[in-house]
Structure 1
């Protein structure tokens, strides 16, 4: 495994430089591979050693690199050492590379790459991830898709690295929109329609009441009155709100099930409505709450204290705002779950909101707010189904499944399946996830059905196709006897580049853990699929001598295991046939 080689090389360097292995491990990285040219396995950045103070930072970098390379000698692990530009390259003995990299798969080790020493510095403990967080009484909009799949990826990644993860869905179930909806349902609502198609009916009511309120101040006043009744927990308003909430959560859970996403806790703004009033009192007692001429309650966040940067925490009528409830929710979560880090996943339009939230918490004396983080993302442009403009997530998932089913029915290579619809659904969702995860999360991107569902190219379909193909290969060769591996049978370039690439798995996961961006893992898995496709053509299992067949099967099984592991972290369910 990569950690065996990295530690061996770090130990060699440690003896030469009289340093501990641990100080040198982070300066070593696996070398990216290219299909048609041989490369070293690891490289040491000499500049990193200078930055760490292990080598003098003055003097010629290249002379230092060559001098250190000359001091290092080959041994039973490393067969070749050479100086590049500011780096020292290490090539390990080929048979040892084969033996050590395939060893974990003998035991069916699905923790491959996750026990790396690279993760020793990664924050462990309890991670609370708040994601998805749609609004009650509205259909699950495609815009919530990004928060859902990104949050799920972060939760999966943290869990795979050994953190105790709490997955929280913080529902938008409070605020003035319920005042409007309450009034709207009174005017336009129908309990029969609510039973037949709950969210569609509530959505229609909301659109109607918004339209009616545009030129009617009375509706706005009635909405404010309804919301005040809610805040005071009056029975009739609360009962209607409770009905809307329960209906919506039930409907959402069906969508989450399709996406393979689960939550440990369904929370919501309503849970913290009373605590929000306590927050206001705490802000007041600390002298942080100021009242404006309009009567609103604000916190001054300007560095100079000149009221140039304000955060409004209270309306003039005394009702709470979104940020007030967010402050209360954060304090409650810290007391309840004692998290080591809390990650909020929302779109980039909320960056200022979270900046203010963390600043207010710190001003209130909650130093743990420094362990809170906002992961933001850009917009999806052009996500439309054939049928219309307003895009609900169910429609997108239905269309992805239908298009995938059509593509599978047209393909000559499609296998017989017990449940083609289920496979089409899983592959369609993979395509959605990979299209979303290929670039930096902060970027907006243009949704493209055709490109997304291509079987060739860097798509979720290609990932699933490669995994299914490897499963088929393993299944067809189930009669190949398992025995002791002979490493000398896997020394072809096609085998070696796959093993070299697997050396980088822990680094891809480490990069993703550092910046919470899935693109590093996506790129790693795509490269693995391309390398496997080439090897599949040139290294046949069927018809090869038994010991060669067994060695190749071990290589392909290892690649399949890592591919499935990486896909699951991304939130993709691997399929065995397609």
Structure 2
């Protein structure tokens, strides 16, 4: 596997430069493969050694590169060493490469790449990920899809790397919107309609009361009064609020089930009313909370302390704001879960909110705020169904399923499936996720139904098709026997290129762990799919001698395992028939 070769090359470098081999482990990287030409397996950028103080900074970099390459000797593991422009290439013994890369698939294919020494250097501990976090009493808006699937990817990634992960859904279940909804339900609500179609009815009430409140001060006053009653634990207000919350969570769980997502904790702003008062008192004691002429409670975040950058934490009537409740929630979570890091997944419009929140927590003396992180993302544009503008995620999932089922109905194999509708749902969701994850999270992107559901190209459909095709190949050939594979039978360039690509898997996971971007893994899996498609044509199993067929099946089985593992981290359920 990759760590075996990386370690041997690091040892060679360590002995030559009289340094610890660990100094070279992260400096070595697998070379991205090319179908058109043969490549080396690993490379070392000499500038990395200069920056790390191993080689002098003032020397000519090319001369240093060539001199170091001459000093390094080939052996039974590394059969070729050559200098490029500012880098040194290492090519491993081909037969040994095949042998070592296929070994883990026999022992434990599900752990392939995860036991890498590169990944062992990552800090482990408890990671709390807050994601999805829709507002209660509203249908699940399509805009919450990104937070939901990105947060799930981060939680899956951290868990696969050995962290203890707490998945938290922090519901928007407090604030002035509930004042409006509560006042609106008293005016326009119906318990019968609430039973028939709960979230649709609450949505209709909210739209109606918002419209009324625009020009009606009486409605605005009623909303403020309802929220004040809620904050003061009035039994009528709390009863209505609790009913709305229970209805909403139940409805949301159906959507999460379709997406294959679960949460360990359903929390919410309402959980932290007592802690809000404690946080406010602490801020007052520390002299951080000041009162403006308008009576609002603010914290001065200006570097010069000249009140030029204020963050409001309390309204003039003393009620809390979203940021106040977030500060209280963060303090409570640290006490309750003792997390080592906390990750918030929301759209980029909230970047200032989290920046202010982390600054305030640090000013309060909570040094752990340094280990809090906001992962932001851009907007999805042009998300429409055939019926028009999309508001609700349920509509998007239904449309993805219907379109995918239509596309699948054109294929012969669909007729052989027991549940084509379930497969269409799974593949449709895969297509949604891959389209979302292909680019940098921070970028906005244009939603495109046709491109998303194409069977060719870098799509979720192609990813699923490749996995299903490999499963079919393994089924048709009676599975893989446990007998050892003769590695000399997989020395064709097509086989070697796949194994070279698999050398990069631990690096891709390492990079993903650094910046929490799913694009690295998506691109890696797509490249693997294209390489497998070529191998499928060039390395037939059927009709080959038994030992050759056995070796090729092991290669295809290993590729299938990596695809399934990678998809699982992305939050995609792999299908074995399509």
TM range (shorter): over 0.9
Cα deviation for residue 278 of structure 1 reads 1.3
Give the TM-score taking structure 1 as reference length: 0.99
- Supply the RMSD in Å over aligned alpha carbons: 0.9
Q: Contact 1:438–1:518 (CA<8 Å) still a contact in 2?
A: yes
Specify whether residues 142 and 121 from structure 1 end up closer, same or farther in structure 2 by C-alpha distance, changes over 3 A only.
Answer: same
Q: Secondary structure at the match of 2:89?
A: strand
Give the alignment of 1:132-147 within 5 angstroms: 132-147=132-147
The corresponding residue for 2:193 is: 193
Gaps of 5+ in 2: none
Q: Residue 556 in 1 paired to residue 561 in 2?
A: no
Q: Contact 2:480–2:554 (CA<8 Å) still a contact in 1?
A: no
Q: Residue 47 in 1 paired to residue 47 in 2?
A: yes
Q: Contact 1:482–1:550 (CA<8 Å) still a contact in 2?
A: no
CA distance in 2, matches of 1:499, 1:458: 20
Q: Secondary structure at the match of 1:369?
A: helix
The corresponding residue for 1:573 is: 573
Cα deviation for residue 187 of structure 1 reads 1.1
The corresponding residue for 1:391 is: 391
Q: Secondary structure at the match of 1:36?
A: coil
CA distance in 1, matches of 2:333, 2:553: 49
The corresponding residue for 2:349 is: 349
The corresponding residue for 1:439 is: 439
Q: Secondary structure at the match of 1:58?
A: coil
Q: Contact 2:474–2:480 (CA<8 Å) still a contact in 1?
A: no
Specify whether residues 347 and 507 from structure 1 end up closer, same or farther in structure 2 by C-alpha distance, changes over 3 A only.
Answer: same
Residue by residue over 1:199-218, the C-alpha shift from the partner in whole angstroms, topping out at 9 and shown as x without a partner, is 01100000000011111011
CA distance in 2, matches of 1:398, 1:21: 54
Cα deviation for residue 27 of structure 1 reads 1.0
Q: Secondary structure at the match of 2:73?
A: coil
Higher mean alpha-carbon deviation, 473-482 vs 294-303, is at 473-482
Cα deviation for residue 415 of structure 1 reads 5.8
Q: Secondary structure at the match of 1:576?
A: coil
CA distance in 1, matches of 2:151, 2:483: 42
Gaps of 5+ in 1: none
Cα deviation for residue 21 of structure 1 reads 1.1
CA distance in 2, matches of 1:155, 1:482: 34
CA distance in 1, matches of 2:559, 2:277: 55
The corresponding residue for 1:180 is: 180
Residue by residue over 1:426-473, the C-alpha shift from the partner in whole angstroms, topping out at 9 and shown as x without a partner, is 000000000000000000000000000000000000000000000000
The corresponding residue for 2:534 is: 534
CA distance in 2, matches of 1:559, 1:389: 40
Number of residues of Structure 1 aligned to a counterpart in Structure 2 = 578
The corresponding residue for 1:494 is: 494
The corresponding residue for 2:219 is: 219
The corresponding residue for 1:263 is: 263
Give the TM-score taking structure 2 as reference length: 0.99
Q: Secondary structure at the match of 1:110?
A: helix
Q: Contact 1:184–1:205 (CA<8 Å) still a contact in 2?
A: yes
CA distance in 2, matches of 1:433, 1:479: 30
CA distance in 2, matches of 1:197, 1:315: 35
CA distance in 2, matches of 1:46, 1:412: 54
Give the alignment of 1:495-514 within 5 angstroms: 495-514=495-514
Q: Contact 2:390–2:396 (CA<8 Å) still a contact in 1?
A: no
Q: Contact 1:183–1:222 (CA<8 Å) still a contact in 2?
A: yes
Q: Contact 2:129–2:151 (CA<8 Å) still a contact in 1?
A: yes
CA distance in 2, matches of 1:516, 1:530: 25
The corresponding residue for 1:13 is: 13
CA distance in 1, matches of 2:460, 2:130: 25
Cα deviation for residue 484 of structure 1 reads 1.7
Give the alignment of 1:276-355 within 5 angstroms: 276-355=276-355
